[in-house]
Structures are given as structure tokens and as C-alpha cells.
Amino acid sequence: MDDFYRELIIDRYKNPRMQGTLDPHDYSYQDDNPLCGDEIRIDLRVDEKGIVTEAAFSGKGCAISIASADLLTESIMGKSLEEIRSLSKEDIIEMLGIELGPVRLKCALLSLKVLKAGVYGLESLEEELTS
Amino acid sequence: MPLREDTHAIDIERIRADFPILARETRPGVRLVYLDNAATSQKPLPVIEAMDQYYRHENANIHRGIHRLAEEATERYESARRKIARFVGAGSWREVIFTRNTTEALNLLARTWGRANLKEGDRVLLTEMEHHSNIVPWQMLAAEMGIELDFVPVTEEGLLDMEAFERLLGQEPKLVGLTQMSNMLGTINPIAEMATRAKQAGAVVLVDGAQSVPHIPVDVQALGVDFLAFSAHKMLGPTGIGALYGREELLREMPPFLGGGDMIKRVELGGFTVNDLPWKFEAGTPPIAEGIGFGAAIDYLEGIGMEAVHAYEQALTAYALERLEEVPGVRVYGPGADQKGAVTSFTMEGLHPHDVAHILDDAGIAVRAGHHCAMPVHLRFGIPATTRASYYIYNTFDEVDRLIEALYRVKEIFQA
């Protein structure tokens, strides 16, 4: 069961590649998970075609929420905002490469929630993430 | 290796045999180590069997029926109330009101005593180490009635700042509400002293006993408190039932809580007359099996003796503190074992409590990670969350060793 904390997750937690803030930015959004005190903020810069040219995350959290924020922000570089809209829970689980119970799933999905809320507003994603 | 003082007056193996859940494995080959007792305790066979017996042989509604079953059920339910009254040193069984849990007991007080006795500008003095259930009902009342809330601060050591307490008493609070034992720091507050001072200042004293009543001897008359709230499920009993002790004189003056059956003597279309104590505060069919289970839990604890429970847990907690502090990067919050109940909340440098709890779970160890419904005291120490291991009468020194081993495993996985 220690497989849960794969090398990838520990590495991304301890040495995140995408940590930081962007100033100026085109999009910035922050949200938290009050149950565990995790906070994630994601900043984006996009070009005129709506392609992400720079992305960064900041905040604090458990290994799962930090690793998923790092992997997610890295994966959207060069993607269009349309492509971001189609990112799903399954994409995050695949990136992390582990099975997640309902409690830890919340940690893993915090960054996706922040990203989508920042780009599209909150309404659109509530149903999407809970379905 | 620190000294293990496992010479004690009680037979742990015999006690453990009464808790079938303790024999289970959480995954093949990994036996459960249950260290989440401040959240809820496990239940011994006598409690499970008492509830089972009620449903198999005595199930009936109480207080109204004339038939044999109703009589037996009523007697068993009401005898639980008498046991609880005796257990906390109440002057009479009429001073024990059944509620759903501690939270409901505190809400009952805010809504009945609070609404009847407080007015705009009156002050209520609480502490920074309260559980949310002894903060939010008063915040709701503050929003509704314009009362003012003050909080006794917590020192770096995890004790109440007694100088600040004295100063805040000078503002003449109408009510002082405080926990007897913090569910995060484990601090056991000097209730008798504080109650004396609060009464001299003219305040009514309410104590949250959710963590203390299960673990230490509590006598409301010796402590000199007016109200005491506690829950069955943290003291070997079932969920869904708790109790509010209140001094009869105060209870008699208080308006009723919920309206309905059982809390009335007489109802006409033009109005109602309230029932006698304690039923005045108990509308509707109560959780009968749970009440009976609560009584069985009291019997079980009295069979061991609360002095013995406290002495054993103090030795176990002292050992846990000693061992936790030897793990590099671990910081335990709250005072030393002599001023503390069986609760050890800690952080590990560079690690999030969720990750710690997750890896402990892999080793079969159940702990709590989060703010434990006490966000203000976490904010006081500038941390969002802690990992909390909390103990009870069935936990062993070997289980503490397993906790420590697993914490070293956490460090290994995270190379922290």
C-alpha cells in the first residue's frame, strides 16, 4: 500500500517544478479545502489564440494536492482553454497513477477545481466534478 | 528506551476481550490499532448486548404504555438516567436531560437559558480552546440578540491564560462556558477554581465535558458547575445520545426546548402546560435503545473505576509523549502528561497531517488528521491541522510503540 506514495508523488511534493506566481497574469484563482486547510492558487498567461503560454501554482497542502497541482499545471502548458475545459477527474487520477478513495480524491481534485473555476467560473464545474 | 510503566491496577487483556472490534484486521495481517478515541470510542460487549436485548425482548415506546413491555422499556431507560446522575454526582436524576449529543446539549442551553437570560450587550466568556460546538451556538445567539463574546486566550504551553481569565471576569460575563478537557491539546482545565471565580463574578458556569467525562472522575457538585454537557459515544456508549446536567433551580426557570409529545403535561387548542423535569426538555420519542446502551456504558466504566481509568491513561499518555518527542521533527501541542488527558496532537516537520494519517492507516493505525472541530486553537498555534492520536482504556503500550514505528516509516517514505 506504500505504493500510494509513489516516487513521482513524493518528488513532485518535495520539488515541485511549477510552483510560483505570475504577475501579470491573464487568469488567477484560489480556492481551499477547509477540511484539511489546503489552499491552491493557479495563475495563467494565455496568448491571443487562447493557448496557455505560462502556468504556475502556489499554496500549501498534502502530498497528493501539491503533486496533482504540479502535474496539472505542467500538463496544460501549450494547451488551449478549450482543451482545459475537457480535463476530467480521470485525467488527474491517470497523472497521479494511483487509486484514490473518496477523501483523498478531494485533495487530488482541488487543483483541477481551481483551474476550471479560474477559467470558466464555478457554476460549470460543480456538477462535472461531483458526477 | 523510556520507562514503560505498564504496572497498573487494571487487567488490559481482559478489557480488550470485551471489545470485539479490537481483534479485527484492517487489511490481511494488519491488526487494528484504534487511536481515534477523542472522535468516538469503541463499544464493549455489555453495551452492544444491552441494546440487542432491548430490541429482542423489550422494544416498546416509553412513558405512555400500560403494557408490560412499555413498563420494562421505561424502567430500563429511566434507570440509565439515574446511573448517569450518580456517575457525574448530580443531586437528583431530574437534573439529567437526555439530548442527542454534547452539541445538542450546548445548543439547548444557548436557545433556552441563553434566550431567556441574556439581552443585548451582555457578555459570554468562552475559551480559545473550545470545540466548535461551544462556540458556534453562542455566535448564532450573538448574531440574533447582540450579545458579546470574549475568549480566554491559550498560552504557548497550551494552558488557559489565567490572568486574562481574571481580567475578562471583570467585564461581568453572564455565562462562563469552558471545556474541561481540550480535544486538541488534551489540556485538563482547573474547573473547580475557575467555577469558584466565575461565580464570585456573578456568572453561570457551563462545562463541556465531552472529552473529560469519559476519562476522568467528574463530580458536578464538587466542581461547583451549573451545567455539564457530554456524549455517550465517546465513553463506550452508542451514538445518538448524550446528556445535559443542569442545576435544578436553573432548569426549572428555563423555557422548554423543542415542542411536542412527552414535554407537555396537558395540551389544549389554546395552549400547553410543560411537563416536569427532566421531560420538559425531551420532546418526542427518544433514542431508547441508545439510552439503555448509555446506562450499560456507565456500568462498564464504574466496574473499572474512573480513578483507575485516569491513572492508566495518564501513564500511557506520559509514555506516548516521551516516545513522540524522540522522533525528530515531531512537535506535540499542549501541556505535559500531568496536566493532560489521553490526547496527543502533533505535527511532523515538512509533512501534512493527511499524509501522516494515510501512511499510519496502511499500518492499521487509526488516527485523526485535521482541525478536529477546533479551528481557533489551531489558528492560535499558526497551523491548519494536526495529526491526533487519542487513547482509551483498551489501548496498550505496545500500540504506542506501533504508532512510533509507523511514524519512522512515514519519515522514510518522505525522506523527511
Binning pLDDT at 50, 70 and 90, where does residue B7 land?
A: low
Q: Is the Cβ pair B413, A1 closer than 8 Å?
A: no
Q: Which of A10, A14, A36 sits opposite B354 (nearest CB)?
A: A36
Cα–Cα distance measured from residue B135 to residue B102, given in angstroms and rounded to the nearest whole number:
13
**CB contact residues (below 8 A), chain A span 5-24, against chain B:** 5, 10, 13-14
Q: What is the pLDDT of residue B293?
A: 98
| Beta strand pairing call for B343-348 and B330-333 | antiparallel
Per residue in A66-104, pLDDT (tens digit) is 999 999 999 999 999 999 989 999 999 999 998 888 888
Note the pTM of the prediction, 2 decimals: 0.93
Q: How far apart are CA B125 and CA B178, in angstroms?
A: 8
CA of A82 vs chain B CAs: smallest distance (Å): 33
Tell which residue, A106, A122, A124, A104, has the closest CA to residue A114. Answer: A122
Between positions 165 and 194 of B, the ones with CB within 8 A of A are none
Mean pLDDT of chain B: 96
Check residue B257 and report its DSSP letter: S
* In chain A, residues 30-69 whose CB comes closer than 8 Å to chain B: 35-38, 60-64
* Low-confidence winner among A23-37, B105-119, B172-186 (lowest mean pLDDT): A23-37
A contacts of B413 (beta carbons < 8 Å): 2, 5, 10
Q: Topology of B12-31+305-414 in CATH? A: Aspartate Aminotransferase, domain 1 (3.90.1150)
Residue from the list A1, A35, A62 with its beta carbon closest to the beta carbon of B355: A62
Q: Is the pLDDT of residue B4 over 70?
A: no
Best A32, A38, A62 member to test B by mutation, with max B CBs in 10 Å, is A62
Average pLDDT (B100-111) is 98
Give the catalytic positions of B in this structure. 373
Cβ of B415 within 8 Å of Cβ of A37? The answer is no
* Predicted confidence band of residue A121 (pLDDT cuts 50, 70, 90): confident
Say yes or no: B384 contacts chain A, CB-CB below 8 A: yes
Average pLDDT over residues A95-116: 90
| Count of CB atoms situated within 10 Å of the CB of A68 | 28
B359 touches chain A (CB under 8 A): yes
Which CATH number applies to A2-121? 3.90.1010.10
Angle (CA) B13-B396-B24 rounded to 5° is 70
Other CB atoms within a 10 A radius of the CB of residue B84 amount to 27
Q: For domain B48-303, is the CATH number 3.40.640.10?
A: yes
Domain boundaries, chain B: 12-31+305-414, 48-303
Q: What is the dihedral of CA B338, B344, B345, B351, to 10 degrees?
A: 130
pLDDT in tens, A38-62: 899 999 999 999 999 999 999 999 9
What is the tens place of the pLDDT at every residue in B259-308? 999 999 999 999 999 999 999 999 999 999 999 999 999 999 999 999 99
